[in-house]
Amino acid sequence: MTQQELEARVSTLEATIATLGARIRAVEDIEEIKKLMATYEDYLDSLQRLDELMALFTEDAKFVVSFAGDAGAEGVLLGTYEGKESIRRLLSQLNPTNLSYCAHLVTNAIITVDGEKAKGKWYLLCPFTALTPKGPVAVWEQGIYDNDFVKMDGKWMISLMRFDFNFSTPYEDGWAKTKMRGT
C-alpha cells in the first residue's frame, strides 16, 4: 500500500467514524429525551415530587393546555402557563388531595433532533381517580403531547410543553359518549 493509498484509507475511516459518531449522538439524544418524558410522567404520577418535576423545565418554559372538543373537560385547567412558577401552580394541582391514582401512559414517540434543540410528539392515555365531594370518580383522559426541548449544559430540558386533550370522560361514560376531535 502506498503512502497516498494509506492516507486515503485513513481519511475514509475518519469520515466514517465522524458519521457514526454523529449518528450515535442522535440516537443518544433521542433516548435521553424519551427518558426525560418518562421521568416527567413518573414524577407526575407520584403526586408528590413537584420540585423534581419542575427541575425538568427551563426557567422560561411554557406549558400550553388545550382541548380539541367542546365537552368533557370539566375541571381541566386550559390555557397557557409561562415560566416555572406558573407551571408549578398548574402541576401542583395533581396531588393526593385531588387524586388518589394517576397513570400517564405515553406511546408512539416521534422525536426529531436538530443540534441543541429537539421536538417530540407522544400520545397519552391516562386513567386516574379524581377525589370529588361526591366521592372518587374514575376518569379516562387521552390527548397528544407536542413538545420542544433544549439541551443546556449537556442535559435535555423541556422548553415548551403542549398538551391537547382529545377527551376527558368518566370511566362509566367512556369516550364513545364524549365529543372528540373530528366528531
169/183 Cα distance (integer angstroms): 15
In this predicted structure, the answer to whether residue 16 has a pLDDT above a threshold of 70 is yes
Would you state the pLDDT for residue 181?
Answer: 58
Within 8 A by CB and 6+ apart from 3, the residues are none
Q: Per the domain annotation, does 145 fall within a domain?
A: yes
Pairing of strands 99-102, 117-132: antiparallel
117-157 pLDDT, tens digit each? 999 999 999 999 999 999 999 999 999 999 999 999 999 99
Is residue 12 within 8 A of residue 60, CB to CB? The reply is no
Mean pLDDT of all residues in 145-174: 95
- pTM as predicted: 0.87
Q: Per the domain annotation, does 157 fall within a domain?
A: yes
Is residue 79 within 8 A of residue 67, CB to CB? The reply is no
Residue 46, domain CATH: 3.10.450.50
Q: Which three cell numbers stand for residue 106?
A: 405515553
Domain residues for the domain of 20 are 3-177
Q: Per the domain annotation, does 57 fall within a domain?
A: yes
In this predicted structure, the answer to whether residue 182 has a pLDDT above a threshold of 60 is no
49-64 pLDDT, tens digit each? 999 999 999 999 999 9
Q: How many CB atoms lie within 10 A of CB 138?
A: 12
Enumerate the H helices of the chain as residue ranges: 3-46, 50-54, 84-91
Portion of the chain with pLDDT greater than 70, in percent: 92
* C-alpha closest to that of 84 among 106, 117, 52: 52
Mean pLDDT of all residues in 7-11: 90
Would you state the pLDDT for residue 94?
Answer: 86
Q: Tell me the longest C-alpha to C-alpha distance in the chain.
A: 85
Q: Who has greater pLDDT, 177 or 24?
A: 24
170/88 Cα distance (integer angstroms): 26
57/147 Cα distance (integer angstroms): 11
The mean of the pLDDT values for the chain is 91
Q: Per the domain annotation, does 81 fall within a domain?
A: yes
90-113 pLDDT, tens digit each? 999 888 988 999 999 999 999 999
142/169 Cα distance (integer angstroms): 9
Q: Which three cell numbers stand for residue 85?
A: 412558577
Q: Per the domain annotation, does 182 fall within a domain?
A: no
Q: Per the domain annotation, does 132 fall within a domain?
A: yes
Q: Which three cell numbers stand for residue 149?
A: 426541548
Would you state the pLDDT for residue 68?
Answer: 63
Q: Per the domain annotation, does 22 fall within a domain?
A: yes
Q: How many CB atoms lie within 10 A of CB 88?
A: 15
Would you state the pLDDT for residue 177?
Answer: 79
Q: Per the domain annotation, does 183 fall within a domain?
A: no
Q: For the chain, what is the domain count?
A: 1
Mean pLDDT of all residues in 20-47: 96
Residue-by-residue DSSP string for 47-77: SS-HHHHHTTEEEEEEEEEEESSSSS-TT--
